[in-house]
Amino acid sequence: MIRLALPLLALGMSACAHAQSPAPGGRSDFREREPSEEIVYFVLPDRFENGDPSNDTGDFTGGRLETGFDPTAKGFFHGGDLKGLTQRLDYLERLGVTAIWFAPIFQNKPVQGPPGEESAGYHGYWVTDFTRPDGHFGTREEFKAFVDAAHARGMKVYMDIITNHTADVITYADGPETNFEYRSKGDYPYSTVGDVSGERINPGFIGDEDSSEENFAKLVNPNFAYTPVVPDAEKDVKVPAWLNDPIYYHNRGNSSFTGEDSRFGDFSGLDDLFTEHPRVREGMIEIFSAWVRDFSVDGFRIDTARHVDPGFWQEFVPALEEVAEEEGIPNFHMFGEVYKDIPQNGYIAEYTRRDKLPSVLDFAFQAAMRELLGRDQGTVVLAHMFDGDVLYEGGEEAALGLPTFLGNHDMGRFSTLIKWDKPDISQEELLARVMLGHAMMLSLRGSPVIYYGDEQGFVGDGNDQLAREDMFPSQTAVYNDNDLIGTDATTATSNFDENHPLFRLIAEFSEVRKAHPALTRGRQVIRHYEQEAGIFAASRFDPDDGTEYLAVFNTTGAQRSANVVLDYKARELETLAGACPSAVTVPGSAAFTLPAFGWALCRVSETAE
């Protein structure tokens, strides 16, 4: 039988002690914090808190298929909004959050999908109007109030943006006969209507690899693959108005997310923007520059970044960085979504080198953590993943700012993934593994991202819609029958319990993290790993005075011991969390004994002269 000793009490006392004074080398102005210093909270506004029930149906009237509002259905709007987010900022502040990243808030097409398979744009990724918040969430004035209130607490605001596609408005006259299958550039070139035997069009256009205005001025006919059709009722639905012209879309059919169609195909039917087109590039820069200028946001999470051509990012990123600089926003953080669920960072690192994205979501870290805590793989997996940090543009220093995470709104919650890997796991052990995952993420390199609801022990039934539960009292049966961890509550009641063991763990580790720059800006060195599940250890070093910190973790359900390497000058250790030895065993080695799924976070407090 596994005996679990959750090491919270020792953490609580030490964290409170360190939270009373400013962090060594700390910055009073939140704008000066580097991305690696942020503790990020990722939230879907629709599922967090309903601050204003009067906007539940947005700008629409009618039933659920007209308004998109149905709090009993997992794929429809539930009522959360910007006022609700603003009202709960104190809760997030007590959790330790320093930056809020929320799913897109732009006006969406309220409902999409064929009869019987409809769902709503509650998630924000089906944009029709890029210039204002969705009416279900509130107004531009309410968004400004939210940003100002967050900034007043020293919290940054990261917007989730989309440049790859819009809502599904364009259809193809000849699409149903092929089920909208992707049509390649080789079989359906820009120079003919339909296939290579068709009527010649777009004379002088030399292809999408030349993004000059001169070249694209010759692309005038969009009927090269399919014949795009915009329904009369929606011919002016997109804002800005240029987005209504089919010439600014690839119009090649649905992507299979492999090869050519990964960049040129429609993402699940959504209208795929022709991001090689200079007007599209100019337009997207105009759109998102305005959000920076008007609301002074602090960064962007970039949706579906790998489905956009590199040339787009090479223009977009420096343009937005220049706008942020003009607006007095240093450390403006842009990180792309490059989905890849393997514990190796070579693939996602490509996008920081070829595409020149400043940063990417650390999917490699997420996959490695699942290997360790869901599949009982050796801690060597995590060590090898960190070895790959040299692959990013800027190397290991750049990797310090990668947003790390355990689960999300697409792949599912970390608790759910572990439960998939271990269907017979007990609630007690599931809680212990999830707590260890958060302790590791909050101690190791990167900018940790907490997925909303994880701090309340949410355990979903799956990914996508099944991982997007309500924090306010839910009316969705498929959520309310979930068995949460660390609590007897269900999602049928409000879940903002600040005594939940996961809330307390995250809050306490956040205070330790913020009090010690080694844990935010410090270089990381792997100190111990094993070929099997067991001990993992890493040192972090204070960026100003070089003080060494040791983070040691046990990924097994039994007590484990290890002799961990550290600097030969180290003599005594101070405990910040868990249980650290008071002194080294001999120069260069300290003996650690950790309980099942336990941890120790230590600071070298005395060194030899």
- Phi/psi of residue 408, nearest 5 degrees: -160, -170
Specify the pairing of strand 119-120 against strand 111-112. Answer: antiparallel
Number of Cβ within 10 Å of residue 240's Cβ equals: 13
Are 419 and 487 spatial neighbours (Cβ–Cβ below 8 Å)?
A: no
- Phi/psi of residue 14, nearest 5 degrees: -70, -35
Token representation of residue 351: 């996008």
What is the rounded distance in angstroms from the CA atom of residue 495 to the CA atom of residue 451? Answer: 14
Are 82 and 51 spatial neighbours (Cβ–Cβ below 8 Å)?
A: yes
Q: What is the 3-state secondary structure (H, E, C) of 415-456?
A: HHHHHHHCCCCCHHHHHHHHHHHHHHHCCCCCEEEEECCHHH
What is the rounded distance in angstroms from the CA atom of residue 549 to the CA atom of residue 527? Answer: 11
Cα–Cα distance list, 488 to 419, 466, 522 (Å): 18, 20, 39
Using the structure block, give the residue that is written with the tokens 């393997």. Answer: 342
Token representation of residue 376: 């009982």
Give the DSSP letter string of 58-100. TT--SSHHHH-B-TTSTTSB----HHHHHHTHHHHHHHT--EE
What is the rounded distance in angstroms from the CA atom of residue 2 to the CA atom of residue 428? Answer: 10
Specify the pairing of strand 359-360 against strand 403-404. Answer: unpaired
What is the rounded distance in angstroms from the CA atom of residue 555 to the CA atom of residue 432? Answer: 10
- Phi/psi of residue 556, nearest 5 degrees: -110, 165
Give Cβ neighbours of residue 532 (< 8 Å, ≥ 6 apart): 378
What is the rounded distance in angstroms from the CA atom of residue 418 to the CA atom of residue 182? Answer: 35
CA geometry: angle 388, 392, 398, nearest 5 deg: 105
Per the residue annotation, which of 37, 49, 276, 337 is the catalytic one?
Answer: 337
How would you class 440 by CB atoms within 10 Å of its CB: exposed for 0-12, middle for 13-18, buried for 19 or more?
A: buried
Q: Provide the terminal-to-terminal Cα distance of the chain, rounded to the nearest Å.
A: 47
Bridge partners of 606, per DSSP, are: 572
Query: Does 195 participate in catalysis according to the annotation?
Result: no
What is the rounded distance in angstroms from the CA atom of residue 214 to the CA atom of residue 602? Answer: 61
Token representation of residue 284: 């997207």
Cα–Cα distance list, 399 to 28, 167, 364, 386, 548 (Å): 24, 33, 12, 9, 19
Give Cβ neighbours of residue 119 (< 8 Å, ≥ 6 apart): 73, 75, 76, 111, 112, 113, 465
Query: Does 530 participate in catalysis according to the annotation?
Result: no
Specify the pairing of strand 548-554 against strand 570-578. Answer: unpaired
Per the residue annotation, which of 56, 70, 142, 303 is the catalytic one?
Answer: 303
What's the farthest any 2 CA atoms get from each other in the chain?
Answer: 83
The residues annotated with a catalytic role in the active site are: 303, 337
